């Protein structure tokens, strides 16, 4: 049975103040232990993984036509004027629905798991795109070293398009923390290693993806089990890290399927 929504009309309401913080501060989730998921796609992606939000927030205009799966997602449902949702939203066109979700408890690095390691990647769009590729190609764990864009920041969550909910995500790590992985670490390089299309790729493995400008740091280069090069017959000096990640992760998945 659909819960009756609580109407909130004041922008000074404590819930709306918290939502503005979660939507506009890239690291507020670390203190709050919660994330703001805005829009139909992210909300449905959460539900598809069997998760339930703490709170569902609908605009007054969207509530009457909201699908029942969104209405029934939680017992705590609120409606807000469209103008107040616009004041929360990080989107150019504010969505009619958003969920507040409690983050899972802190996790430890899991050994023997197909993993992606992010070494100080700065761009939220790149990080979110890599999470999508990791989820699509069967890599269940993503480890972010200190200096990497916050994994649950609003921009990364939007770019991830729901991939977050199917991954084991751990951030704030040091290079030494990766010793627990116990799988071969593969590093892409422009000047050494086997060509990707000819390489025999181990599974499970950990692909290491480095800073957009500086690449993989020395500490992780020293831990590499193998270096791999991506053929670029067009002659470009380098690939965008998210594009390189998609190529490498797909190659691992394709090798597993063959």
Mean pLDDT, rounded, of the chain: 94
3 pLDDT exceeds 80? Answer: no
The set of residues, in sequence order, having a beta carbon less than 8 Å from that of 11 and lying 6+ positions away, is 84, 87
CATH 3.40.1280.10 in the chain: give the residue spans. Answer: 115-257
Architecture of 6-102 per CATH?
A: 2-Layer Sandwich (3.30)
Please give the share of the chain, as a percent, with pLDDT higher than 70.
97
pLDDT value, residue 257: 63
pLDDT band at 2 (very low <50, low <70, confident <90, very high): low
1 pLDDT exceeds 80? Answer: no
203 pLDDT exceeds 60? Answer: yes
72 pLDDT exceeds 90? Answer: yes
Q: What is the pLDDT of residues 9-49, one digit of tens each?
A: 999 999 999 999 999 999 999 999 999 999 999 999 999 99
CATH topology of domain 115-257: Alpha/beta knot (3.40.1280)
102 pLDDT exceeds 90? Answer: yes
Using alpha carbons, select from 197, 190, 135 the residue that is nearest to residue 160.
Answer: 135
3-state SS of 176-233?
HHHHHCCCCEEEECCCCCEECCCCCCCCCCEEEEEECCCECCHHHHCCCCEEEECCCC
Q: What is the pLDDT of residues 47-69, one digit of tens each?
A: 999 999 999 999 999 999 999 99
φ, ψ dihedrals at 55, nearest 5°: -140, 140
258 pLDDT exceeds 70? Answer: no
Helix (H, G, I), strand (E, B) or coil at 143: strand
pLDDT band at 189 (very low <50, low <70, confident <90, very high): confident
In DSSP notation, 44-82 reads HHHHHTT---SEEEEETTTGGG--HHHHTS-S-EEEE-H
What is the spatial distance between Cα 125 and Cα 52, in angstroms, rounded to a whole number? 26
pLDDT band at 70 (very low <50, low <70, confident <90, very high): very high
CATH 3.30.1330.30 in the chain: give the residue spans. Answer: 6-102
């Amino acid at each position: 049975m659909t819960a009756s929504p609580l109407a909130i009309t004041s922008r000074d309401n404590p819930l709306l103040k918290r939502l503005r913080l979660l939507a506009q501060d890239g690291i507020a989730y670390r203190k709050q232990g919660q994330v703001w998921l805005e829009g139909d796609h992210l909300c449905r992606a959460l539900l598809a993984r069997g998760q339930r939000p703490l709170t569902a927030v609908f605009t007054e205009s969207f509530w009457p036509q909201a699908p029942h799966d969104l209405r029934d997602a939680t017992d705590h449902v609120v409606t807000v004027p469209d103008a107040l949702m616009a004041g929360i939203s990080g989107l150019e066109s504010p969505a009619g629905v958003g969920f507040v979700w409690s983050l899972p408890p802190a996790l430890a690095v899991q050994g023997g798991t197909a993993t992606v390691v992010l070494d100080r990647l700065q761009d939220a769009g790149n990080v979110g795109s890599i999470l999508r590729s990791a989820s699509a190609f069967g890599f269940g764990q993503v480890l972010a070293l200190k200096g990497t864009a916050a994994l649950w920041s609003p921009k990364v969550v939007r770019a991830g398009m729901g991939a977050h909910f199917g991954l084991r995500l751990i951030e704030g790590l040091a290079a030494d923390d990766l010793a627990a992985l116990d799988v071969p670490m593969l590093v892409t390089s422009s000047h050494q290693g086997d060509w990707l299309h000819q390489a025999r790729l181990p599974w499970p493995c950990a692909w290491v993806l480095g800073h957009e400008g500086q690449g993989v740091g020395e500490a992780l280069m020293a831990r590499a089990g193998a270096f791999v090069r991506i053929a670029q017959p067009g002659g470009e000096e380098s690939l965008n890290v998210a594009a390189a990640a998609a190529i490498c992760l797909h190659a691992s998945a394709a090798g597993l399927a063959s």
